[in-house]
Amino acid sequence: MKLVHFATVLVLALFSAARADQGGQQSLPINDVRKWKIVTSDKATSCQKYAAEEFQRFFQTATTVKLPVTQSASGKTGNVFIGPSDALKTSPLGRVMQRKYGEEELRIVVAKDNIAILGGPRGTLYGVYSFLEDYLGVRFLTAQLTHAPTVSDNHAIPVIDRSYKPPFAYRFYLKTEVMKDPVFAVRRRQNAAGQQGPKEQRISERLGGEATGGVFLHNNFNVSASFRDHPEYYSLRDGKRTNHQPCLTHPEVRRIVTSQILRNLDNYKPGTTIPLAQNDNGYPCLCPRCSAVQREGAAPGSLKVGDDAMAASPVNYRNGPPSAVVVDFVNHVAAAIARKRPDLWVGTEAYAYSVMPPRKTRALPNVKVQVATYHCSVVYSLDDPRSQINRQFAKYLTGWRNTCDHLLIWTYDMNPRDYWLPFPNMRSQPANLRTFVANKGRGIFMQGASEHTEFSDLRAYVMTALIWDPSQDADKLINEFLTLYYGRAANPIRKWIDMVHQQAEASGSEANINAPARSYGLDAALGNRGLELFEEAMELADNDATRLRVEKISMTAVRLALEPVWWNTIEAPRMARARKTTLEKQQVRIAGDELPRFRKLARRLFTLARKHQGGQRESARKAVFAYLKLSPEPQKDKTE
């Protein structure tokens, strides 16, 4: 694959159509630009100055020439303008300053004698990265590795005038490989960080600052009263009060939450989103008041929505969607806030029992709803007719689009049950992101797995690219990363990824993010084929660094090849407890002559996990080693 050629073709398809400058020249020779200057404003923000530095840094890598950075143009030609400036305004490209740009909107203009890269506060920096990628072939692969090729003397940049505004105004991929280095995160166009994360992971103003108000964690709707003192404030189910969720229609609950927020309004910065979100369980209040709100004007017993429900007990839906109560409560608080601080937002979740949208109740204009995809099938996309669950969720998403003007999406890119198991969602995730955009999704929170697990490095690259621009071709992104990161070893790794997804799709799996291997149609036989592919990849690897990368990703095949043992030690006990049966009835038979091989695989898996810091679970290691009668230290083991 010719990466520079691919990048140029791709950008022409993804962004606004290129057009030739009025001078008629179709390309700008790179040798001409070697003699130019980088021009910024003397009033440039720290982010715009940083954008100029990034351009200077990587242009020098690509051309061996370090362009000087100045605050004034030396003439009408030979300038690379980074950000708005008086010099740009009076230049032949001054027309680009005739309008304002959105915060993250970017514009790149390449003419025969000048270049302009500008946009909103973050847009200018993103424009620099787009230019570096699309016209100089730079690829920000990982926090430790950037592919920045030296361009040839006959390299040319197309004359173009293009603009782009990302569809998701909030972009946060919760993945350590991305989060741990804010410089890399911003190069991957991430604009948010974990609110509770360490200071060194925050995105500073120099890097563009952070978008806020895009993810709401479970917080009990900010009810401060204790269940012990006021059980009447909490959910009524089967005649008993429980502390699972608050009763959102109780007058005192509404008064307490509203008044405590109003008392603290001065502490909220402009544009802040105040979260009011449910706890992480499926037990909403079913008291007469809540049930009446839930019916949204329908007569008692007249609604039958249980057949369309997903992700919760049918009893929760007997009076209609429970989300009607949630939205009604959030609207009550939001209305009081809007009267005093119309610049603030209130955000809530559509998750588990509240994922079905209300039939009639609409969210107020200052309310955000974050829709979670937890219960969706990960193997198929939301628009894939093979998945009944996803077809239902797609209807819910359309309903929320009609209920709320500001939707956010909480989606998942990991299996919390098993971080080493191949997670077969890389074919479905790109289409899902496009579905979110089509349904007015304005922000994306993608939850990833622990560092150094499964396809971590690949996911960090591909998913951040798609979050920035969901219209990109995921297969090309995957191939691009594999080629640049694994070199000659890329082909067998690509075969492994395809095999995993093909087998999962053929299984008809409707499993969500939290499932064992068999629920995705994956088995040890597939893992064994993967081991063969990784042997081939190791032989093809060009150097020790690449061999280490191949070794790390090979954990996915080792883990799957160990599946019978993993099932018997980790999953069978869970199933026995859930089904109230014996462990023996849930375990699979393993022949005695297979044990030596499984012992080798177990040692290999946990050795690799320790070596590559791949989220090793000590409890899993102990269980597997005990089952296989392995000693804790491999070098002392004599069972074979």
Please tell me the distance from the alpha carbon of residue 210 to that of residue 60, in angstroms, as a whole number: 29
Instruction: Give the end-to-end CA distance of the chain in Å, rounded to a whole number.
Output: 46
pLDDT number for residue 197: 78
* Strand spans (E) along 89-239: 106-110, 114-119, 139-140, 146-147, 156-158, 160-164, 170-174, 234-237
For residue 521 the two structure tokens come to 């149609």
> 240 and 362 share a domain?
yes
The shares of helix, strand and coil residues in the chain, as percent rounded to the nearest 5, are 45, 15, 40
* Strand spans (E) along 286-424: 345-350, 367-372, 407-413
For residue 595 the two structure tokens come to 């044990």
Among 366, 385, 418, give the residue marking a domain's end. 366
Task: Please report whether residue 336 resides in a domain.
Answer: yes
Phi, psi of 557 (to 5 degrees): -75, -40
**Are 19 and 111 spatial neighbours (Cβ–Cβ below 8 Å)?**
no
Residue type, 306: G
* Strand spans (E) along 225-344: 234-237, 240-246, 273-275
Task: Please report whether residue 41 resides in a domain.
Answer: yes
> 157 and 235 share a domain?
no
User: Contacts from 87-91 at CB under 8 Å and sequence distance 24+?
Assistant: 87/39, 87/41, 88/39, 88/116, 88/118, 91/116
Rounded to the nearest 10 degrees, the angle between the axes of helix 251-263 and helix 323-340 is: 40
Please tell me the distance from the alpha carbon of residue 34 to that of residue 445, in angstroms, as a whole number: 41
| Tokens 């609110």 belong to residue | 195
A 10 A CB-CB count for 113 gives: 18
Please tell me the distance from the alpha carbon of residue 453 to that of residue 614, in angstroms, as a whole number: 5
Q: Which domain holds residue 123?
A: 3-165
> 225 and 320 share a domain?
yes
A 10 A CB-CB count for 77 gives: 14
User: Facing residues of 172 across strands?
Assistant: 445
Question: Which regions in the chain score pLDDT beneath 50?
Answer: 1-24, 635-640
> 514 and 584 share a domain?
yes
**Are 16 and 162 spatial neighbours (Cβ–Cβ below 8 Å)?**
yes
**Are 515 and 524 spatial neighbours (Cβ–Cβ below 8 Å)?**
no
Number of domains making up the chain = 3
> 499 and 583 share a domain?
yes
Task: Please report whether residue 392 resides in a domain.
Answer: no
Task: Please report whether residue 395 resides in a domain.
Answer: no
Task: Please report whether residue 560 resides in a domain.
Answer: yes
| Neighbouring residues of 295: CB distance < 8 A, sequence distance ≥ 6 | 302, 303, 319, 320, 324
DSSP 3-state of 66: coil
A 10 A CB-CB count for 577 gives: 11
Length of the chain: 640
CA dihedral of residues 581, 582, 584, 587 (deg, nearest 10)? 50
> 132 and 256 share a domain?
no
pLDDT number for residue 311: 65
DSSP 3-state of 37: strand
Please tell me the distance from the alpha carbon of residue 396 to that of residue 389, in angstroms, as a whole number: 11
Task: Please report whether residue 86 resides in a domain.
Answer: yes
> 41 and 137 share a domain?
yes
Residue 71: which CATH number?
3.30.379.10
Per-residue CA distances from 200 to 48, 84, 280, 464 (Å): 21, 29, 29, 20
User: Facing residues of 115 across strands?
Assistant: 80, 110
> 152 and 246 share a domain?
no
Beta strands at 146-147 and 139-140: parallel, antiparallel or unpaired? antiparallel
Kindly report the pTM of this predicted structure.
Answer: 0.92
Please tell me the distance from the alpha carbon of residue 399 to that of residue 394, in angstroms, as a whole number: 9
> 150 and 229 share a domain?
no
User: Contacts from 45-49 at CB under 8 Å and sequence distance 24+?
Assistant: 45/83, 45/121, 45/205, 46/205, 46/206, 47/121, 47/122, 47/124, 47/125, 47/205, 47/206, 47/207, 47/208, 47/209, 48/82, 48/83, 48/124, 48/125, 49/206
Task: Please report whether residue 98 resides in a domain.
Answer: yes
Task: Please report whether residue 179 resides in a domain.
Answer: no
> 159 and 238 share a domain?
no
Q: Which of 280, 314, 320 is nearest to 302 (CA)?
A: 320
pLDDT number for residue 216: 87
Please tell me the distance from the alpha carbon of residue 446 to that of residue 423, in angstroms, as a whole number: 15
DSSP 3-state of 522: coil
CA dihedral of residues 168, 173, 174, 180 (deg, nearest 10)? -120
Among 316, 347, 366, give the residue marking a domain's end. 366
* Strand spans (E) along 432-572: 441-448
| Tokens 């890097």 belong to residue | 207
pLDDT number for residue 3: 35
> 605 and 517 share a domain?
yes
pLDDT number for residue 515: 97
> 140 and 20 share a domain?
yes
Among 335, 366, 397, give the residue marking a domain's end. 366
